[in-house]
Amino acid sequence: MQIRDRYAPSPTGLQHIGGVRTALFNYLFAHSQEGAFVLRLEDTDRTRSDPAFVHNLYETCAWLGISWDEGPDIGGPYAPYIQSERLELYKRRARELIAADKAYYCFCSPERLETIRQEREASRSRETGYDRHCRSIPKAEAAARAASGEPCVIRLAIPLDKTTTFHDRLLGTIEWKNEDINPDPVLLKTDGFPTYHLANVVDDHHMGITHVLRAQEWLPSTPLHVILYASFGWTPPEFCHLPMVMGPDGKKLSKRHGATSIDELRRQGYVSEALVNYVALLGASYEEGKDFYTCAELAACFSLDKLNKAPAVFDYKKLAWYNASYIRMKTNEELARLALPFAVEAGIFGKTGQEPDAEQKRIFIEAMSLVKERATFLTDIPSKIAYLFSAPVLPDASEFFPKKADAHALSNAIELLTVGKNLVSRMAVMTEADAEAFIKAEAENAGVKPGDLLMPLRVAVTGARVSPPLFGSLRLLGAEASVLRVERALAKLTSDSV
């Protein structure tokens, strides 16, 4: 038997961490078993479904490297893979359930259902859901009323006074009293569209889905689905309800904990490999002592037997650590390609949105070696190297000398900058090792510490006391531009000293 699983999102919102974790686990499980991974769009919620969210789904999965073997965009043997294009199938199957006395027509108006709800609320009744009012209508009468065009829905007849039992791959055997299941839920609405429950079960059966991996929040729906399978006379797939993803406070992960949509995380400067690697670890284990995996390595190691029952805690600090680690692993060219959109948006090449010219692009690529060890997010990079593309605003004079400076600090800074001015053009053409040896020797000749000589130079060139490596910065700026930066700083300090 070929393993077949699926990711079946409803296009009613942006892709978020929980949904992506479900998609990723299904993708990894299918690949680990040489099976098929199916994408299906469950778009029966017509009021909330939006093509923009479908686009977001495709774009997000492509960015993360999650691909499918069958789906709406590529087709497959069980097409169509969009539920709104399968309506006749759901209608036919719902009518089959009525013929088998497993479902019935319900003619209750929304007003009647609301009245029941209000009466129960007023009397503080513990009853919930539908009162099964139409379940006792004779079958022939109900069929005639439906055929006459009277508005109606089709409801599933939940077996009374019984228990539904099913096996979950992670949680074991689960028993659910039928009296605790939503009473006779709607399967087919008045507009001919199915509810989630009918469409989900019918599609999983017709598409040959063998395993359903989904979040534990769907566990209460499973007894209802098992009853539906039994009503049709079908064998249900194997269920595996994945551990919940929680925030650090032990509550379900939400916006109050931080970014949850993948779009937000992308805008914050996360790289796709970090997200895939970290999300794959939420509720699953792989190799002992190994932190970094490619998608192929994750698939090779993935196993349902290595899933955790306990909820997974989403740690933004751990994700940030992964992100910084993957940034360091990038080549200069790879990192520049990823960081360039953020730099263009920040306007470091001129105006906001301005693309770099050939020379600026060359400098930008080479500058990656200066910042990759210091960046946690792609969004960190533009501000760290903006000084390479335009002269920075010079800070207050006090930034040019040590915090615990004496009354002669300003004049000392001017003197050190004057010495440094005669050195930068030479250092700008040296390797890092040669420049370091050179500055040590010159500092010794001047009777000062290398750090004291370098600090005012760093501020003059980069505009800050803390910056990417100075020697590399001089090399990228070039001798002439470096000297001009120092002269500019000297002019400022000299003016301040008057």
What backbone torsions phi and psi does residue 249 show, to the nearest 5 degrees? Answer: -90, 5
Active site residue 255: yes
Nearest Cα to Cα of residue 24 among 313, 222, 283 = 283
Helix (H, G, I), strand (E, B) or coil at 189: coil
Count the neighbouring beta carbons within 10 Å of the beta carbon of residue 257: 16
In terms of Cβ atoms closer than 10 Å to its own Cβ (0-12, 13-18, 19+), residue 19 is buried
Query: How far, in Å, CA of 356 to CA of 348, rounded?
Result: 9
What residue spans of 44-195 are helical by DSSP H? Answer: 51-64, 87-99, 110-123, 139-147
Place of tokens 């479908």: 54
Nearest Cα to Cα of residue 194 among 95, 286, 112, 299 = 95
Exposure b/e, 153-189, CB count within 10 A at least 16 = b: bbbbbbeeeeebebebebeeebebebeebbbbbbbbe
Residues in the chain, total: 498
Catalytic position from the list 139, 162, 177, 255: 255
In the numeric block, which tokens belong to residue 24?
């990723």
Query: How far, in Å, CA of 498 to CA of 494, rounded?
Result: 7
What backbone torsions phi and psi does residue 483 show, to the nearest 5 degrees? Answer: -65, -40
In the numeric block, which tokens belong to residue 306?
């290595």
User: Residue 341: in which H helix or E strand, if any?
Assistant: helix 332-346
Q: Say which DSSP state 180 is in.
A: G
First CA to last CA distance, the chain: 87
Query: How far, in Å, CA of 215 to CA of 202, rounded?
Result: 20
Q: Catalytic site residues? A: 255
